[in-house]
Structure 1
Amino acid sequence: MPKPRKELISLEATPYYHCVSRCVRRAFLCGTDEEGRSFEHRRGWIEHLLLEQAKVYCIDIAAYAVMSNHFHAVLHINQAKSKGLTDIEVVQRWHQLYKGTLVSQQFERGEELREDQWILLRRNIEEWRSRLMSISWFMRRLNETIARLANDEDECTGHFWEGRFKSQALLDEKALAACMAYVDLNPVRAAMAKTPEESKHTSVKKRAEKAKEAYSPNHPQQQVPELLNFAGNPKQDMPEGIPMRLTDYLELVDWTGRQIRENKRGSISECEPAIMHRLGIDAEHWLYITQNFESEFKGVVGAVNKVKSKISCFWDKQRERRRTAGIQACKLRLS
């Protein structure tokens, strides 16, 4: 039985989540159907909407990959950004997504409001502020928009996606790095691209192209503006961003991509990237989880001590599972 969404997402545990949506018409979400009709342009729809929507929501994109019958997104909930928005900024952002209410439209136009209208507006603003950093609302709008566009193009009605999106909580740096690499290497594993930088409609392609042009690729201001920055190795007074260097991550993805090619599967290079040692990840385990992240791990991913300390954030004490699903995989692969 699927778990309620509130049991899968908890800001107290982590702001990072891996989300996956799959299409019911698995053969031709974005690929080519049995009659030879190409739907490749839909991959561009998803990539464009994903990045544009992130500009409105208080949610950052750490990684993404749009495949032929599904897409992946590693999302970061930016709670500080949400709290920092003024009331008018919340209303303006919400109106970019939905119509809002008659009162909120009057407020945006600068019209005077009665006391009872102010009470109603403040209640709406707090609700919208919360929704602007909600992964459920983010994915809901993205999937609804794509479904409408695809159904209009297909001249049909009905479900486009396989129910709810799948969500995995990423509790620590190891889990985050492994999941991002898993997502960015999807096209390489599927033989859709030979290298990460040739993988169309992925975050790693955007990052690699920008890094190639940048004088200092690890500087936040010279990274891809639509994506969450790499902030450098963990340290005190850590700036906002992914806790590793961009160049280290690109090196890690490139090395991993070379190992998981069909003719080299299972081989271990002597030139492992330095970040592997800093994260304390065994190379054999790394190659395995970057090919099997979804199937190997369940809803919560991280080192065992992290999983045990954070699990109550997802499930209340009275209903807490005696046996946490996937904890053995975390113990074997990430501890």
Structure 2
Amino acid sequence: MPRRPRIEIAGYYHVINRGVEQRIVFKEPDDYEYFEELMCFYAKSYSITLHNYCLMSNHYHLLLEIHQENLSKFMKQLNSNYAIYFNKKYGRSGHLWQGRFKSWYATDEAYLYTLMLYIEQNPLKANMVKALEEYPYSSYHYFLAKETPECLKHAWIVQNHESDNETIKVMLHSDVDTSVLQELKKASSLVEAPNIDKSLMRKN
């Protein structure tokens, strides 16, 4: 039976993908950085707004906003091109990702706000770092930088709190609304922190 086509309407989406069999998909700093390059390149190519992201060793979270029905095309380019890079670099073959990416539409502002906190706080909840600023593979530290990367210039946080670092810190360190988070987990089976590999951060 053919796969059902995804229903894609303009708006905000929480996107998750993980390595096949929960394997590591980012082994070295170069891997994270190459994925970020691809992500930003294709976001611009497909006119997709990147609001927040966090790359963990065996999965990633993205908060995207699409303006036309092209989320699947964007994700196919991102995942397939990264898989080609990863397989070639590490001399492997076969699928890198655990099936198609998963995505959920952000239905209201409470959902959206909780997603921002959840995504950015992933490294902290996983005990990867003691402060969010220390984790190099998420959008958080870019929001505090003097110059925001091109692909994050239209992010909700930049548009609403640009250069107001204290407000950004307070916001993204806020406690997550547990009732909303439980609904998110129930609806989307969020990847939990214990599944990640901490060895890379221990080396730094």
Q: Is the 8 A contact 2:16 2:61 kept in 1?
A: yes
Q: Which residue of structure 2 aligns with residue 122 of structure 1?
A: none
Identity %: 28
Q: Which residue of structure 2 aligns with residue 138 of structure 1?
A: 74
The correspondence of residues 198-237 of structure 1 with structure 2, limited to 5 A, is: 198-210=134-146, 224-227=149-152, 228-230=154-156
Aligned residues, how many? 183
Query: Would you tell me which structure has more strand in proportion to its own residues?
Result: 2
- 1:62 has 2:51 as partner: yes
Q: CA deviation at 1:198?
A: 1.6
Q: Once superposed, what is the RMSD of the aligned Cα atoms?
A: 2.6
3-state secondary structure, aligned to 2:171? helix
Change (3 A) 1:230 1:196: same
Q: Which residue of structure 2 aligns with residue 190 of structure 1?
A: 126
Q: Is the 8 A contact 1:66 1:201 kept in 2?
A: yes
Q: Is the 8 A contact 2:52 2:120 kept in 1?
A: yes
TM-score, normalized by length of structure 1? 0.49
Q: Which residue of structure 2 aligns with residue 169 of structure 1?
A: 105
TM-score, normalized by length of structure 2? 0.78
Q: Is the 8 A contact 1:65 1:73 kept in 2?
A: yes
Q: Which residue of structure 1 aligns with residue 17 of structure 2?
A: 21
By relative contact order (CA 8 Å, sep 6+), the higher-ranking structure is 2
Counterpart-to-counterpart distance in 2, 1:67 and 1:231: 21
3-state secondary structure, aligned to 1:49? helix
Q: Which residue of structure 2 aligns with residue 77 of structure 1?
A: 66
Please tell me the residue identity of whatever aligns with 2:145. Answer: E
Give the structure with higher Rg (CA): 1
Q: CA deviation at 1:52?
A: 1.8
Q: CA deviation at 1:26?
A: 2.6
Change (3 A) 1:293 1:161: farther
Deviations 1:240-297 (A, max 9, x none): x6xx5454443221233xxxxxxxxxxxxxxxxxxxxxxxxxxxx614655x575233
Q: What stretches of structure 1 move > 6 A for 4+ residues in a row?
A: none
3-state secondary structure, aligned to 1:54? helix
3-state secondary structure, aligned to 2:34? helix
Q: Which residue of structure 2 aligns with residue 286 of structure 1?
A: 177
